[in-house]
Amino acid sequence: MWIIAQIFINAIIAGSVYALVASGLTFIYATSRIFHLAHGVVILFGAYIFHFVWVEQGLSPALGVLFSILGSVAIGLLMNELVYEQQRKRHAKRLAYLISTIALLMLGTSSIILIFNTSLKSFNIQTTVYRFDQLNITLMQIILIVISCFLLLILSAVVKYTKFGKAMRATSDNDEVASIMGINTRQIRRLSFGIGSLLAAVAGILIGLEFNIDPNMGVYLAIKGFTAMVIGGVGSIGGAIFGAFLVGFFEQIAVWYFGAGWKNSIAFVLLFFFLLLRPRGIFGLKRFR
């Protein structure tokens, strides 16, 4: 019985990281209609910059967080400006965006390998372990869940109550009408890429602290975030968060039942069944909330 409870705890830990990724992707998709798989690279840069500043340079972790967020946001904005916006000018098909996002993903991953090499990097953090009978949870993991929930709450509040959130929902509903109504949709897209990349940096930092970082995780995280987004219903932030926990849960089940080697394929199995049986996702909303 305790193993089920432990799977639940692990699923919540993994899920709260995936939720950050998935909600970032949802933000970006809502305003630009791009499946921004290169988001994985933004996460990677966040994690590696944090590791570089804190562990390799020995500076303070706060400085590491700052540089990691600045670096990731800059990369996210550059991708949007140099590639996606150029394609938008040409009225590219959605497939063209998909190919360019994969090109960016591989370009970024290979750059990371070139700069930081392929070896696994870890932070070796000592943390207190709380034991309840046979269940384990560390202080680090609790902090991770709290930070993630806190950020996601702020985010939903921003979307709901601010003027920017309103403009964003309008752009998501219909960007032509939104721009006729005087909303600078290009600016809104920039902002959503900025926010999405900020979330990616935080996700990268948390992943680095909890697990290890290696260059291949960018691809997997992007796919899991995407799957979470589809499961929840594309365009709904609440759905994306729910989907993220579902991906985390099924992943832990797969690790427990089949072994760790299948961990990264389970997201695709979920994706397949959802696309086939319920393409609108669980919360099948048409509009961005």
Partner 1 sequence: MFAFLIYILTLICIYSIIVMSLNLAMGYTGLVNFGHIGLLGVGAYTSAILTTKFDVSFIFAITFAAILCALIGALLSIPSRKIKDDYFALLTLGFLFVSGAVFINWTDMTRGTLGIRGIVRPEGFAEPISFFVLTFIMSLVTFFILEKVTNSPFGRVLEAIRDDEQVAESLGKNIDRAKMVAMTLSGFFVGIAGVFMAHFIRFINPASFWLDPLVISLAAVVIGGLASLRGSILGVILVFTISESLRFLSLPSTMIGPMRVILFMIVLLVVILFRPKGIIGRADLD
Least distance (Å) between residue 158 CB and partner 1:
28
Q: Please count the other Cβ atoms lying within 10 Å of the Cβ belonging to residue 278.
A: 13
Least distance (Å) between residue 113 CB and partner 1:
4
70 vs 253 by CB, closer to partner 1: 253
One-letter amino acid for residue 257 of the chain: Y
Q: Is 257 in the site for partner 1 (CB under 8 A)?
A: no
Count Cα atoms within 13 angstroms, Cβ side, for 255: 18
Q: How far is CA 209 from each of CA 12, 86, 148, rounded to the nearest angstrom?
A: 16, 36, 13
**Residue recorded with tokens 């070139």:** 114
Residues 90, 128, 180, 182: which binds partner 1 (CB under 8 A)? Answer: 90
Per CB under 8 A, which region of 18-26, 45-53, 202-210, 255-263 contacts partner 1? 255-263
Q: Of 203, 199, 202, which Cα lies nearest the Cα of 191?
A: 199
Q: How far is CA 144 from the centre of its chain?
A: 14
Q: Please count the other Cβ atoms lying within 10 Å of the Cβ belonging to residue 202.
A: 24
> In sequence order, what are the beta bridge partners of 135?
132
Binding mask 166-205 for partner 1 (x = CB under 8 A): ----------------------------------------
Q: Which residues of 57-86 are buried (b: 16+ CB within 10 A; e: fewer)?
A: eeeeeeebbbbbbebbbebbbebbeebbee
Least distance (Å) between residue 94 CB and partner 1:
5
Per CB under 8 A, which region of 65-73, 106-114, 167-175, 186-194 contacts partner 1? 106-114
Residues 149, 262, 286, 287: which binds partner 1 (CB under 8 A)? Answer: 262
Tell me how many residues contact partner 1 (CB under 8 A). 41
- Dmax over Cα atoms in the chain, in whole Å? 61
Residues 59, 66, 77, 83: which binds partner 1 (CB under 8 A)? Answer: 83
Q: Is 35 in the site for partner 1 (CB under 8 A)?
A: yes
Which tokens in the block code for residue 257? 């039942």
Interface positions with partner 1 (CB under 8 A):
35, 83, 86-87, 90-100, 102-104, 106-107, 109-111, 113-114, 117, 219, 223, 226, 259, 261-262, 264-265, 268-269, 271-272, 275-276, 279
